[in-house]
Amino acid sequence: MASDDLKDAIASMGERLAKIEMLLDRQRKSIEMLLKLSEPFGVYLGGDVVLTQMMNGLRLMVPASDSVMAPKMIGNRVWEPRITAQLQKLIKPNLCFIDVGANIGYFSVNAALLLAGSNARVYAFEPNPTIYELLSKNIQINWSLAPISLRQIALGADLGQLELRIPGTRASNATLLGPRSIKEGTDYTSIWVDVTTIDKLGIDPKSIGTIKIDVEGAEAMVVQGAKTTLRDGPQINLIMEWDTKAQADDVGATSWLIEYFASLGFRAYILESGLQETPLRSLGSRDYCNLFLTRDPTSFGLSA
């Protein structure tokens, strides 16, 4: 009898060991898959376009010749990781996201991913025709997200047309400002593009949660064209590139932005330093950073 019990115990132990081995094999395969997902990924599609996949699963077409975005997005599989990591906290659910200077659509599709299933939509604006084509394709291939409305147009202070200067190997850094905004010695082409304002878009200010502005130093022009929207939408927050060297081509832009944000009660937080608050008046001496500007810091867990 004791011998039978021992045999049963050994058989049971063998079954358990087999299950453990099976589970370990599954874990090994999962680890191998995760390691592959974390490696650089890029497929050349021809026509100066590379398809890459971000760590969160979004797929994006990138200009192969772009010496800034392409290496980082293919190699790191994330663009501007500090901003990306904070988006989930900074984008308000059920409120629209406006992407000014949408480029190839990285932040547009990331915002649409976060807003999927809500009543909100994303509005994306990009004037560069070559980049706009990729933006349109990137929205098509990432289709199961919140709706994205896009327009091939620049946003500024007034209606009309402006000259867009496009650097040869950095098409994503095209600017509406003067040639000083482009690194000395860089070849660039110029085209004229249509310009409208945020105030003229016809979007209900109360439906907007976040406006992201990245326009290579022309941020003041965009904000000037959004005065009514910012006044009538007190819940609107801004994610904005801050570059005083680029702003220098728009004389007085830096000081105007600081005073205007102060008059509306905005407070500034630096994304690169984990949303550390910085006094608005200190921005005049800061060369470059990415800012989060809000009038309601406590709703984001920031100090009042």
| 192 closest CA partner among 153, 226, 134 | 153
What pLDDT does residue 67 have?
84
* Tens digit of pLDDT at every position of the chain (304 positions): 567 777 777 778 878 888 888 888 888 777 666 656 667 888 999 999 999 999 888 999 999 988 888 999 998 899 999 899 999 899 988 999 999 999 999 999 999 999 999 999 999 999 999 999 999 999 999 988 999 999 999 999 999 999 998 877 666 678 888 665 566 556 778 899 999 999 999 999 999 999 999 998 999 999 999 999 999 999 999 999 999 988 988 899 999 999 999 999 999 999 999 999 999 999 999 999 999 999 999 999 997 6
What pLDDT does residue 185 have?
52
What pLDDT does residue 169 have?
63
Task: Specify the pTM.
Answer: 0.85
38 φ, ψ (degrees, to nearest 5): -85, -10
| 278 closest CA partner among 288, 268, 264, 293 | 268
Longest alpha-carbon distance in the chain: 97
Cα distances (angstroms) measured from residue 2 to each of 7, 8, 13: 9, 10, 16
In contact, 102 and 128? CB cutoff 8 Å? no
Strand 267-270, strand 208-213: pairing: unpaired
What pLDDT does residue 304 have?
65
* Cα–Cα dist 28/23, whole Å: 9
- Give 163's contacts (C-beta < 8 A, 6+ positions apart): 176, 190, 191, 192, 193
Report the 10 Å Cβ neighbour count for 23. Answer: 10
What pLDDT does residue 36 have?
61
